[in-house]
Chains A and B, each alone.
Chain A
Amino acid sequence: DAKTTQPPSMDCAEGRAANLPCNHSTISGNEYVYWYRQIHSQGPQYIIHGLKNNETNEMASLIITEDRKSSTLILPHATLRDTAVYYCIVRVARTYKYIFGTGTRLKVLA
């Protein structure tokens, strides 16, 4: 099954860039990587997705390695409101199932 591995927690100083890594070495060639975040117990919020190329939107940037086995979510100027659990997810190949790992708990420090 597709699986993602993320560090359980990270701290980041307010105003600095937060770089959150994710390993998805079993991803198949045509599957996207998606990033979500969950603040407290709210519903997860979509951040960004990518296939092969690096992506940027108003929330974050996504860097995907050339072999697609890992990616990094970058929050360029973290704020206290970015404190959340960040999940990278992929779909299990040849199915419609999505696997959320345990995510990275990011704490932005004042």
Chain B
Amino acid sequence: DSGVTQTPKHLITATGQRVTLRCSPRSGDLSVYWYQQSLDQGLQFLIQYYNGEERAKGNILERFSAQQFPDLHSELNLSSLELGDSALYFCASSVDGGTALAKNIQYFGAGTRLSVL
């Protein structure tokens, strides 16, 4: 158990809908990362938050948004869903992440499997 909690584990929805994925980081971790993994693909970095502020953005679509709350949990919002958004979405957390040169071990949650029908 990594200590990172993601809910829900599975989500089935229809095209055009909006969903929210939730992530609770490990106790004490200030950084949260979101990744997308499509079928048989590697992990694509979406976005990072550090202590409530956006720190880095990857290949995140404009239909997707995220935030990190004062209690450090994070939510990833996916809207106007398309079939191609079906994927595993992972959240990771780390203690560091506030300094670009610091070592930064990320601990991953079990993921949310999103199916868009």
Contact B106 A96 (CB under 8 A): no
The answer, yes or no, to whether B12 is at the interface (CB within 8 Å) is: no
The answer, yes or no, to whether A16 is at the interface (CB within 8 Å) is: no
Contact B42 A30 (CB under 8 A): no
Binds B, one of A18-26, A58-66, A73-81, A87-95: A87-95
- CB 8 Å contact bits of A71-110 with B (1 = contact, 0 = none): 0000000000000000100010011111111110000000
Tell me, rounded to whole Å, the shortest Cβ–Cβ distance linking B96 to chain A: 10
A44 to chain B: closest residue by CB: B108
Interface size on A, residues (CB 8 A): 25
Instruction: Evaluate whether A96 and B56 lie within 8 angstroms (CB atoms) in the complex, with A43-B110, A103-B42 already known.
Output: yes
Which one, A44, A49, A96, A102, contacts B103 given CB within 8 A?
A49
Contact B58 A49 (CB under 8 A): no
Which interface class (under 10, 10 to 19, 20 to 34, 35 or more) fits B?
20 to 34
Instruction: Evaluate whether A102 and B106 lie within 8 angstroms (CB atoms) in the complex, with A41-B88, A96-B100 already known.
Output: no
| Cα–Cα, bound, A49→B112 (Å) | 26
Tell me, rounded to whole Å, the shortest Cβ–Cβ distance linking B71 to chain A: 21
Which one, B92, B104, B113, contacts A91 given CB within 8 A?
B104
Instruction: Evaluate whether A97 and B56 lie within 8 angstroms (CB atoms) in the complex, with A43-B109, A44-B90, A44-B108 already known.
Output: yes
| Beta-carbon contacts under 8 Å, A18-70 to B | 30-32, 34, 36, 41-46, 49, 51
Q: Pull 23 A–B residue pairs with CB atoms less than 8 Å apart, ordered by A.
A: A31-B101, A32-B104, A34-B106, A41-B88, A41-B111, A43-B92, A43-B108, A43-B111, A44-B108, A46-B105, A46-B106, A49-B103, A51-B103, A87-B43, A94-B100, A96-B55, A97-B45, A97-B56, A98-B106, A99-B45, A100-B35, A100-B42, A102-B42
Chain B residues with CB under 8 Å of chain A are: 2, 4, 33, 35, 37, 41-45, 48, 50, 55-58, 88, 90, 92, 97, 100-101, 103-111, 113
